[in-house]
Amino acid sequence: MLRFALTLLLFTLAFGVLSSSPVFSDLILAKVDRRIDLTSQIVRITTSLKVENAGSNPISEILLSFPENQAKHLAYLTATLNEGKGKGKASSGAGLPTEVVIPKDVPDSLTFYSLSLPKGLGKGESLLLDVLAVFTHALEPFPEKISQADIQLLLFQDTAHFLSPYKVMVQSLAVKLPEARVESYTKLEGTKLSGSELKYGPFHNIPPFSYLPIIIHFENNQPFAVAEELVREIEISHWGNVQVTEHYNLFHGGAKSKGEFSRLPCFCDYEFLCRYFVRARPYVRGASAFRRLVARLPPRAHSVYYRDEIGNISTSSLWGDSKKTELEIEPRYPLFGGWRTAFTIGYGLPLRDFLFESDGKRFLNFSFGSPINELVIDTLIVKVVLPEGSKDISASVPFPVKQWQETKFSHLDLVGRPVVVLEKNNVVPEHNEHFQVYYKFNSLSMLREPLMLIFGFFFLFVACIVYMHADLSISKSSASYLAKVQWEEVQATVQQIHNIISHCLTAHDKLEASLRDLSRTGDVQACKATRKSVDSLLKGVSKDLKPLVTFLQSSPQAAHILPKVEELIAKERDLQERLMAKHTTVVDCYEKKLGGREIENRIASNQQKITSLRQEVDDLMDFIDEI
Amino acid sequence: MAASDAPNGDVLIRNAFGSVLAFLILLLIGVLAFSIRLFSVIKYESVIHEFDPYFNYRVTQFLTKNGIYDFWNWFDDRTWYPLGRVIGGTVYPGLTLTAGTLYWFLHSLNIPLSVETVCVFTAPIFSAFASWATFLLTKEVKGVGAGLTAAALLAMVPSYISRSVAGSYDNEAVAIFALIFTFYLYIKTLNTGSLFYATLNSLSYFYMVCSWGGYTFIINLIPMHVLLCIVTGRYSSRLYIAYAPLVVLGTLLAALVPVVGFNAVMTSEHFASFLVFIIIHVVALVYYIKGILSPKMFKVALALVVSIGLAVCCAMVAVIIALVASSPTKGWSGRSLSLLDPTYASKYIPIIASVSEHQPPTWPSYFMDINVLAFLIPAGIIACFSPLSDASLFAVLYIVLSVYFSGVMVRLMLVLAPAACILSGIALSQAFDVFTRSIKFQLPSLSDHSHIDARDASSENIVPDDTIKTDKSEDTPKERMTKRSKKKEKEPVEKPPTKFQIKKRLSVLPFEASIIAVILLVLLVAFYVVHCVWAAAEAYSAPSIVLTSHSNDGLHVFDDFREAYAWLSHNTDVDDKVASWWDYGYQTTAMANRTVIVDNNTWNNTHIATVGTAMSSPEKAAWEIFHSLDVKYVLVVFGGLVGYPSDDINKFLWMVRIGGGVFPHIKEPDYLRDGQYRIDSMATPTMLNCLMYKLSYYRFVETDGKAFDRVRRTEIGKKYFKLTHFEEVFTTHHWMVRIYKLKPPKNRIRGKNKKSKSKTSSTTTSKRKGTRRNPF
């Protein structure tokens, strides 16, 4: 408190001296209305000025001054001409251009901003001007550290008089406070506190550079969410999506928490009860702590996620209608004064809402600031990732920002995607204006990556096919290679033999079938015909077998299977002969019209052998098949 | 010739069709293995699970950030404070290097996946590989059909799922693949006698050594198999080629892994392989001499060689015994010893015994983890004996050993799972083979009677069609692997069917019986599938850092651990030391990035005992211990409010035991009332005054007025007390994690001064100070 009083004293002294300095120009501020809004962590001072030119020369610029301690917290300054008298608020579109100037003969501790008027202000003319100045970190918590049960008290200091290089005729000041509870405030003449509004003035005939300090010590339990750094990455895909990823590094900028932590007052089984408690009796547990943040995303936002580096954060909810998408997020833990957290929000947006085309160039039209309400951002970095192959890139932002380009490599990129980086310090919600990034992009480039994939896989399969068909043996004359080739030949031959034998077996089956037919129909001729055809078939087959067997005999590789093959062939021949014999016997018997039992007796011995032979042949076949 | 050409081409096409089908089935099995493990991602999120995976994840992060050389030289000062840990030399690098390689490969293609994503999906990818490796191994043992069946079974065996769900980024995830693949290459070498495969086998063994401490299983199982082969007279040059290069190359390669190093030749786990290496050489020599000598000469030589060989063996054995006897643990590491003697750990090493996964399993856990496979294994063993080959002998040996090991430690159920799958695959495939064959042989004969008139050339076409149709209609409800048997059936069916009418008539089962058996088998397999999917979805997918519970008003998420870790990482100084029980060490370093005193790598018993002692000491003594360790924050896990059973109070007895093992003034009986562990009003004063009790229950009574502990189901013994040396700085939403800060010493002095000035300070403090001042 002492330090604070000292600074104030210094200020008063400085300005006491200054006030006697010569009048800066001929301008007179006929009427000044100042409204200070202290309801959130962001201080917004709206000043409406009625400027009169009392001198003779037309004036084209107006100076606004801020004391140093305010100027370093100034985040946003805009002045608009208020021309319409009637409804008044129809301000003339864009604000006037403002720039920092350092005029001569002024104290160093003041920072001046000059407003250039669109047309000079002639003698005796007047105009109405609305100036909005937004300050961050201008509220000082006092005491600096509070325990969990305490409420958060803040100090705000400013001048009751409008600090200006010009003479002010009439001035009033209204301060809007978040709560009716005010710890203390500087009492001046005509100060009145009604509800949560504090009024000073009106003051008359204030000389230039007049400074009348006021201090307000009041309660404010608003969340002091400050993002130390926010990186927004806006990635454009011409396949129809804009992917936004925002990395927040957040802390609570209010009074620091001290003493023991306790969950107790807040603890309850059910979440809704907890919310109820928080809203109804905010003093119970860390009044200034904040549990939730609300982000207003553009409409049709999809695939929204909320996570941090160790995974998904499960406490969030999402609503959407045609105008907006509202995302309510809770950090992992309630943030008390001075506590920090970090998280990432990501969402996709339809491309057509944000990407437009003009004069053969495409441009992205996107809002600059964070979608989270009432968030102060110390450093905001916006990265716009354009598709690979974009050219002629330029960005236009309505306020000064640092700007450079980078390259980012993402999915299957060859040359990388150009990235436009915009950096700005001290960002407030007023900065949520749209900015544009212009670039040229050929739509055919979109097909590059799919084609790359298609050809990649195509060549992979081609390579596979070539590998399967090409003989990649190093040496064609090596023993093992030759052995392999021979073995393959042997295998093929054995396979052929196998096939032939199975044909024979089919033929045998046919014979058997014809016998069965015979027993049913008694058609001896048909049976004979079958036998003839089978006989000729089998003879042809045995001719086919010969060269194969001789090959096997000549091949050293086949030495260990040769006996089996030969055995198979021999057995098969035996089987064949016996079958034929049986067939002939049966047919003969039929011709002699012998009885069924008789026939059975005659072929019984043969039949047994046939069955056993057939069994053996089948086993051998299986064995050979396995080779 | 034309006649023989056509079927030849037919066979070619059929073979091509078969291999394409088999390939497709394998692909689908891979997809199945991968996707059944994604329940955790779908139900929860893509996050690393449990404890050890967090360490592996952190190591992988370091590897991808700093490169391989920094990784080998990494001295981690954020753990085991103030000792630190040489990560590069004490970690099995296989998993980390695998994920790192995957990450680098993806990034070289400019696919920007995060390290976390790669780590989360490493395990599912490798379980697909593991099921393919199982196919290869079983194919070598019992053919393609059994291979596909075993692969499909392994793809979804719950025991393996429990260690390889997405996010379970642990060594076992890749090690099981390496294990099976090494076995496959061994069997492949054994079957082919190819030196190429033998070399691959040693490389695969090297990968296994890199990945998991369980490689000792391989280096003991293979020698045992070799020995068994020799004893049963199955020695061949193929066996020599399969074994000798593995021992030489494998041991050399294994010694390259820093964590193994000279252990590869020094510890007893490896001695079996060297012994068998000698034996196989002796046997090889015998066979060689037998080959070059006449039988008579051989008999003479045999006596000579046997006597020399015996002498050499005796010498070697003596040397080995001397070496072994000279080391205190007989050259065995604690974990291996507890395998040989299940009671060893609980007697001598409480740290090993305190881990739940080192306990012997119960019967229900067998049913839970391998389900119906437990009943199929005996059938598989029988199938392996008809006929017995080198490969099937290996399968039998594998199952027998792994059943024993899984009986000792729950964790080794994981080694049992592949063996169980292989044998069950063999059993199932053989059973289906027999049943479908009996059905098939009898189906045509049935149709014979109906089509007896039209028995012509055309009937040959009709009959197989029918068979195929019936096969198909039976197969549709069957598992994927039975498709393979369908394919197998098709092959013979397309050949003239009459040929098979006689064939193996004797082994054919009655038609109705085989139909019923097939249906029962299908039901059994269906039950297995249902169980596996249930296990994957419900039992094994919880990441254990996020807990959920279903209540009347929907799903409730308990995300307290990450809440606490996030708080630590953002709101404490980067060099602050956090003390907690060792279970939470890995997570704290990985998620909160804070230095811990002890972690899950329990290499220093004394250090852990120090923390255990602090937790079981009264507040002041604990403060002194922690202060001497430069600890700033103490983290305890407390489940009493929401009923989370695995909290620190339930683990507390282990802290007492481990602490008491090193510092004898901590005595377990002091914490037990009549041998019972309790925290209610009957608890001992030592218990009620120890730090763990106080930190857990501090201000707990104010939540409900009664201080009812929902885990222990009782009201706590001491409800109102104040902390003098610790200060609560954070408690998570459900009170599951509570973080306390050590009060700085100067505060105490100020408190003392204040006390001497005014008597307003807390009574406990003044009492404490009073007792301390008295002696002076």
Name B79's bridge partners: none
Q: What integer pLDDT is reported at residue A267 of this predicted model?
A: 40
**Which chain A positions have a beta carbon within 8 Å of B571's beta carbon?**
339-340
Chain A: closest CA distance from residue B572 (Å): 9
Closest CA to B111 of A233, A241, A453, A443: A453
**What average pLDDT does the structure give for chain B?**
82
Alpha-carbon span A606 to A604, nearest angstrom: 5
A78-106 burial, b at 16+ Cβ within 10 Å, e below that, comes to: bbbbbeeeeeeeebeeebbebeeeeeeeb
Tens digit of each residue's pLDDT (9 = 90 or more) over B525-565: 999 999 999 999 888 888 888 888 887 777 888 888 999 99
Query: Do A167 and A233 fall into the same domain?
Result: no
Name A406's bridge partners: A419
ipTM of the predicted structure?
0.78
Chain B: closest CA distance from residue A17 (Å): 47
Query: Do A247 and A169 fall into the same domain?
Result: no
With 0-12 / 13-18 / 19 or more C-beta atoms within 10 angstroms meaning exposed / middle / buried, residue B470 is middle
CB contact under 8 A, A311 and B503: no
Q: What integer pLDDT is reported at residue A83 of this predicted model?
A: 67
Task: Give the chain B residue whose CA is nearest to the CA of A269.
Answer: B734
Structure-block tokens of residue B100: 């790192």
Query: Do A316 and A420 fall into the same domain?
Result: yes
Residue bearing tokens 């339990």 = A221
Q: Does A469 touch chain B (CB under 8 A)?
A: no
Q: What integer pLDDT is reported at residue B469 of this predicted model?
A: 37
Contact present, A92 and A24 (Cβ < 8 Å): no
CB contact under 8 A, A332 and B567: yes
Alpha-carbon span A342 to A221, nearest angstrom: 22
CB contact under 8 A, A495 and B703: no
Query: Do A129 and A114 fall into the same domain?
Result: yes
- Residue B462's pLDDT band (cuts 50, 70, 90): very low
Query: Do A419 and A494 fall into the same domain?
Result: no
Alpha-carbon span B700 to B716, nearest angstrom: 9
**Which chain A positions have a beta carbon within 8 Å of B733's beta carbon?**
263, 333
Secondary structure, 3-state, B504-557? CHHHCCCHHHHHHHHHHHHHHHHHHHHHHHHHHHHHCCCCCCCEEEEECCEEEE
Question: What dihedral do alpha carbons B404, B406, B412, B415 form, nearest 10°?
Answer: 70
Alpha-carbon span B473 to B755, nearest angstrom: 89
Query: Do A160 and A144 fall into the same domain?
Result: yes
Of A172, A192, A219, the one marking the end of a domain is A219
Closest CA to B680 of B651, B707, B656: B707
Alpha-carbon span B48 to B46, nearest angstrom: 7
Q: Does A261 touch chain B (CB under 8 A)?
A: yes
CB contact under 8 A, A312 and B45: yes
- Residue B25's pLDDT band (cuts 50, 70, 90): very high
Query: Do A62 and A209 fall into the same domain?
Result: yes
CATH number at residue A116: 2.60.40
Q: What integer pLDDT is reported at residue A266 of this predicted model?
A: 47
- Residue B570's pLDDT band (cuts 50, 70, 90): very high
Structure-block tokens of residue B126: 């490798």
Question: What is each CA distance from B181 to A333, B184, B205, B283, B592, in whole angstroms?
Answer: 47, 5, 9, 28, 37
**Which chain B positions have a beta carbon within 8 Å of A617's beta carbon?**
none
Task: Give the chain A residue whose CA is nearest to the CA of B729.
Answer: A261
The answer as to whether A260 is a domain residue is no
Question: What is each CA distance from B274 to B268, B507, B666, in whole angstroms?
Answer: 10, 46, 45
Size of interface A-B (CB pairs under 8 A): 105
Q: With 80 as the cut, is the pLDDT of residue B670 above it?
A: yes
Q: Does B759 touch chain A (CB under 8 A)?
A: no
For chain A, the domain total comes to 3
Structure-block tokens of residue B98: 């695998």
* Structural domain range at position A76: 26-83+95-219
Chain A: closest CA distance from residue B112 (Å): 6
Q: What integer pLDDT is reported at residue A475 of this predicted model?
A: 67
Q: Which residues 572-611 on chain A approach chain B with CB closer than 8 angstroms?
A: 611
The answer as to whether A149 is a domain residue is yes
Alpha-carbon span B591 to A310, nearest angstrom: 6
Closest CA to B727 of A332, A257, A282, A254: A257
Higher pLDDT among residues A314 and B425, named by residue = B425
CB nearest to A499's CB, from B4, B112, B731: B4
The answer as to whether A497 is a domain residue is yes
Chain B: closest CA distance from residue A245 (Å): 15
Query: Do A400 and A524 fall into the same domain?
Result: no
Q: What integer pLDDT is reported at residue B507 of this predicted model?
A: 62
**Cα separation of the two ends of chain B:** 116
Alpha-carbon span B398 to B419, nearest angstrom: 6
Q: Which residues 91-120 on chain B approach chain A with CB closer than 8 angstroms?
A: 109-112
Of A219, A246, A273, the one marking the end of a domain is A219
Query: Do A104 and A177 fall into the same domain?
Result: yes
The answer as to whether A461 is a domain residue is no
The answer as to whether A13 is a domain residue is no
Closest CA to B690 of B718, B712, B663: B718
CB within 8 Å of B413: residues ≥ 6 apart = B159, B361, B365, B366, B369, B370, B406
Chain B: closest CA distance from residue A615 (Å): 7
Contact present, B634 and B674 (Cβ < 8 Å): no
CATH number at residue A416: 2.60.40.1730
Alpha-carbon span B532 to B161, nearest angstrom: 9
Of A420, A445, A470, the one marking the end of a domain is A445
**Which chain A positions have a beta carbon within 8 Å of B491's beta carbon?**
none
How many Å separate Cα A317 from the centre of its chain? Answer: 17
**Which chain B positions have a beta carbon within 8 Å of A245's beta carbon?**
none
The answer as to whether A268 is a domain residue is no
Question: What is each CA distance from A61 to A33, A593, B366, in whole angstroms?
Answer: 20, 137, 87
**Degrees to nearest 5, angle at CA A202 with A201 and A205:** 115
- Residue B444's pLDDT band (cuts 50, 70, 90): low
Alpha-carbon span B78 to A62, nearest angstrom: 60
Q: Does A196 touch chain B (CB under 8 A)?
A: no
Alpha-carbon span A502 to A496, nearest angstrom: 10
Task: Give the chain A residue whose CA is nearest to the CA of B737.
Answer: A263
Please state whether beta strands B672-673 and B676-677 pair in parallel, antiparallel, or not at all (unpaired): antiparallel
Q: What integer pLDDT is reported at residue B441 of this predicted model?
A: 78
Residue bearing tokens 């999402």 = A318
Q: What integer pLDDT is reported at residue A235 of this predicted model?
A: 93
- Residue B446's pLDDT band (cuts 50, 70, 90): low
- Residue B1's pLDDT band (cuts 50, 70, 90): very low
CB contact under 8 A, B4 and A544: yes
Name A36's bridge partners: A45, A175
Q: Does A310 touch chain B (CB under 8 A)?
A: yes
CB within 8 Å of B768: residues ≥ 6 apart = B620, B724
Residue bearing tokens 């909160």 = B592
Give the DSSP H/E element, type plus range, for residue A134: strand A126-135
Contact present, B751 and B758 (Cβ < 8 Å): no
CB contact under 8 A, A263 and B553: no
Q: Does B7 touch chain A (CB under 8 A)?
A: yes
Backbone torsions φ then ψ of B291, nearest 5 degrees: -70, -40
Closest CA to B41 of B110, B152, B123, B158: B123
**Axis-axis angle for helices B115-142, B413-450 (nearest 10):** 50
CB contact under 8 A, A409 and B110: yes
Alpha-carbon span B431 to B747, nearest angstrom: 78
- Residue B520's pLDDT band (cuts 50, 70, 90): very high
Structure-block tokens of residue A258: 């001290």
The answer as to whether A46 is a domain residue is yes
Tens digit of each residue's pLDDT (9 = 90 or more) over B395-405: 999 999 999 88
**Which chain A positions have a beta carbon within 8 Å of B699's beta carbon?**
262, 264
Q: What integer pLDDT is reported at residue B445 of this predicted model?
A: 56
Q: What integer pLDDT is reported at residue B316 of this predicted model?
A: 83
Q: What integer pLDDT is reported at residue B485 of this predicted model?
A: 43
Structure-block tokens of residue A470: 């090409």
Residues of chain A with pLDDT under 70: 1-25, 83-95, 105, 264-287, 473-476, 595-596, 626-627
Average pLDDT on B711-718 reads 87
CB within 8 Å of B18: residues ≥ 6 apart = B487, B491
Q: What integer pLDDT is reported at residue B456 of this predicted model?
A: 39
**Which chain B positions have a beta carbon within 8 Å of A496's beta carbon?**
4, 8
Secondary structure, 3-state, A291-347? CCEEEEECCCCEEEEEEECCEECCCEEEEECCCCEEEEECCCCCECCCCEEEEEEEE
Q: Does A412 touch chain B (CB under 8 A)?
A: yes
Tens digit of each residue's pLDDT (9 = 90 or more) over B252-278: 999 999 988 888 888 878 888 998 998
Closest CA to B717 of B735, B738, B694: B694
Structure-block tokens of residue B198: 């033998």
With 0-12 / 13-18 / 19 or more C-beta atoms within 10 angstroms meaning exposed / middle / buried, residue B767 is exposed
**Which chain A positions have a beta carbon within 8 Å of B570's beta carbon?**
339-342
Tens digit of each residue's pLDDT (9 = 90 or more) over B136-151: 999 999 889 999 999 9
Task: Give the chain A residue whose CA is nearest to the CA of B591.
Answer: A310
Measured in residues, chain A has a length of 627
Q: Does A533 touch chain B (CB under 8 A)?
A: no
DSSP per position, A16-84: HHHTTSPP--SEEEEEEEEEEE-SSSSEEEEEEEEEEE-SSS-EEEEEEEEEHHHHTTEEEEEEEE---
**Which chain B positions have a beta carbon within 8 Å of A614's beta carbon?**
502
Closest CA to B401 of B372, B423, B428: B423
Contact present, A279 and A321 (Cβ < 8 Å): no
**Cα separation of the two ends of chain A:** 100
Query: Do A388 and A524 fall into the same domain?
Result: no
Query: Do A416 and A518 fall into the same domain?
Result: no
Contact present, A395 and A340 (Cβ < 8 Å): no
Give the DSSP H/E element, type plus range, for residue A192: strand A192-194
Alpha-carbon span A586 to A513, nearest angstrom: 13
Average pLDDT on B320-341 reads 68
Single pTM value for the model: 0.80
Q: Does A405 touch chain B (CB under 8 A)?
A: no
Task: Give the chain A residue whose CA is nearest to the CA of B1.
Answer: A544
Contact present, B694 and B615 (Cβ < 8 Å): no
Query: Do A125 and A198 fall into the same domain?
Result: yes
Give the DSSP H/E element, type plus range, for residue B354: helix B350-354
Q: Does B570 touch chain A (CB under 8 A)?
A: yes
Closest CA to B632 of B592, B603, B605, B665: B592
Q: What integer pLDDT is reported at residue B749 of this predicted model?
A: 53
Alpha-carbon span B358 to A129, nearest angstrom: 79
Q: What integer pLDDT is reported at residue A94 of this predicted model?
A: 55
Q: With 80 as the cut, is the pLDDT of residue B497 above it?
A: no
CB nearest to A340's CB, from B7, B11, B571: B571
Q: What integer pLDDT is reported at residue A207 of this predicted model?
A: 85
The answer as to whether A425 is a domain residue is yes
